[in-house]
Structure 1
Amino acid sequence: MNIRHHFDDATLMAYASGSLPKGMALLVACHLHWCPECRERVRQAEAVGGALLEQIEPQAMPDNALQQLMARLDDDMAAEVSSLVSPALLPEGVPAPLHHYIRGSLDDLPWKRLGYGVHHVDLNLGGKGTTRLLKIAPGVSVPHHTHTGNELTLILRGSYSDEIGRFSAGDVADLDGEVHHQPIVDTDQDCICLIATDSPLKFTGLMGRLVQPFIGM
């Protein structure tokens, strides 16, 4: 896998500190499954965070601190067990952290139609923002848009091109409100992406604004 697009430092620092929304943290973990460069950058960020923690004055813990810790450990253990799945047993295009949620092939998911050539599966993770899988047919483009917050996209299968460049399997797009783009699938294969946002997209074209209330993006 030839990964050319990675996260910016702020995203990886937020992941290392545990401050990303759940969907974005899942997406980062999926990219890390494939990307040794970003894994090393996270390791460095965790080392910096550990050094900073050592300089903080100790604070009194709340009475339910142990219960909260054990609940977090249960969630982390489930993800850790999922990550132990042999790469050879994972379906095509499914990193281990995502396999924990979909438990199967991308082709067997209950895809729902969003519009011409576009289908999605909402992972319903709760919390801030939305996390979904998006499948876009060859030659189809997403309406031109920018972002009212942050958007992370991980390519699982296929590829698309936009104003930023070309994104293939393993690549990530780490975008904010300063970016305006219109991704278009540029091969004869469906492009399947994992997308996490912390606020709605902002469509800039008339058609995008008309359909936005119906597609929930």
Structure 2
Amino acid sequence: MRILLVEDDAMIGGAVQVALKDAGYAADWVRTGPAALGALDGQHYDLLLLDLGLPGVDGMEVLRTLRAGGDQIPVLIMTARDALEERLRGLDGGADDYVIKPFEMAELLARMRAVLRRRAGVASSVLGNGVVSLDTATKLATVGDASTLLSNREFALLRALLVRPGAILSRADLEDRIYGWGEEVESNAVEYLIHTLRRKLGSEVIKNVRGVGWMVSRSG
């Protein structure tokens, strides 16, 4: 999944971006409102982490602009503005959830998972297709009675496939969900990750559609 982080504080932004990557997300970071709107105009994101106290165009104006234009991207506000009136203004303005600074990274990641589940209309943190299941909170993949802890990028790739079982994702589709801006992508990186996942989970878990891409079956 690809996340856009909008945060002008260098220390907070850097720490959150590292935590997102460690959790298996592709994370792009911008520091101003206009940069956020520009990034959202040119790239699909699964979730927006939005600071309110931005220079120039603040976070509430970014949120209003998105919702006025019909953009329904899930938005989780991160801010030090802890007054009830501010929280209500953000939620009524179209945000999906709110986390108050300073926050623990574990809480931020849990709130992100909850927002994404609500938007997908599911209650569980586990994705599955009857052959393999993936716990998005722990990165444990399970086939039969055997569970395996995945690396960050193995997790990101399998999650991308399990979000849309039956859909064929190309190399470019998968790279877009695994790597953020400026991250070097080896030409065979996706193939290598699929190889390691098949070695851990079994050769039939991920299917190759020759010349098109990869998929997991819709059901077991």
Higher RCO (CA-CA < 8 Å; seq separation 6+): 1
Normalising by structure 2, report the TM-score.
Answer: 0.32
TM-score relative to the length of structure 1: 0.32
